[in-house]
Amino acid sequence: MREIVYAVHTSLDGCVEGPNGEFDWPVMGPELSAYSQELSARSGEFAYGRKVWDMMSAYWPAAESISDHPHDIAFAPVWRAKPKVVFSRTLEKADWNTRVLGGDLAEAVASLKAEAGENVLLMGGADLAAELTARGLVDEYQVFVHPVVLGGGKRPFAEGTARLGLELVESRTFDGQVVLLRFRRA
């Protein structure tokens, strides 16, 4: 059975975006970029909620013409080739080797996890991750803490999220500044 691995970049104050929706603060140095490439290679499919999908599909198909950052140049072809799934009640279809799953979220995730293949990498965002966490459907959390305080904004674990016991299975630092905290459900 496949697992759902949630990978998220947060600020030191626990936000995934700034007070005005900013996402210009994550630092992708060479070590973090290499780890991100390894994590992507070990995943059978990328997963997104609708909002993150809109952001990703607006950037990654043409990333090489927008950015000359080594991480972007390396990840863009991986993103285009990797199978992807978007959980949405409103999106009907998506390009770039992507399928859309709507309807009952628990049923859709159970079906996805039951498919053959490597784990599903849920990338970024907060709303879908919070809903999956509340339903006990995330198996592993990889939280990348960046050296910035945003002073507010969206958080991956919304206020009111039920208590969740986790086991720390790894911690490490990338590029002398970003800390990975990797947890599994206890």
Domains of the chain: 4-178 (3.40.430.10)
- Helices 105-114 and 127-134 pack at an angle, to 10 degrees, of 80
Residue 124 pLDDT: 81
Query: Which residue matches tokens 């206890």?
Result: 186
156 pLDDT band, cuts 50/70/90, is confident
- DSSP letters, the chain, are ---EEEEEEE-TTS-SS-TT---------HHHHHHHHHHHHT-SEEEEEHHHHHHHHHHGGGHHHH---HHHHHHHHHHHHS-EEEE-SS----SSSEEEE-S-HHHHHHHHHHSSSSPEEEES-SHHHHHHHHTT---EEEEEE-S---SS---SS-TTPPP--EEEEEEEEETTTEEEEEEEE-
Give me the pLDDT at residue 90, please. 92
pLDDT (0 to 100) of residue 148: 97
Q: Is the pLDDT of residue 160 over 80?
A: no
Q: Which pTM does this prediction carry?
A: 0.94
Q: Is the pLDDT of residue 120 over 90?
A: yes
| Mean pLDDT of the chain, nearest integer | 93
Tens digits of residue pLDDT in 36-91: 999 999 999 999 999 999 999 999 999 999 999 999 999 999 999 999 999 999 99
What Cα–Cα distance (Å) separates residue 118 from each residue in 32, 42, 87, 97? Answer: 22, 7, 18, 16
Least confident interval from 11-20, 35-44, 103-112, 151-160: 151-160
Strand order from edge to edge, sheet including 166-174: 98-101, 84-87, 45-49, 120-123, 4-10, 140-145, 178-185, 166-174
> C-alpha 94: how far from its chain's center?
18
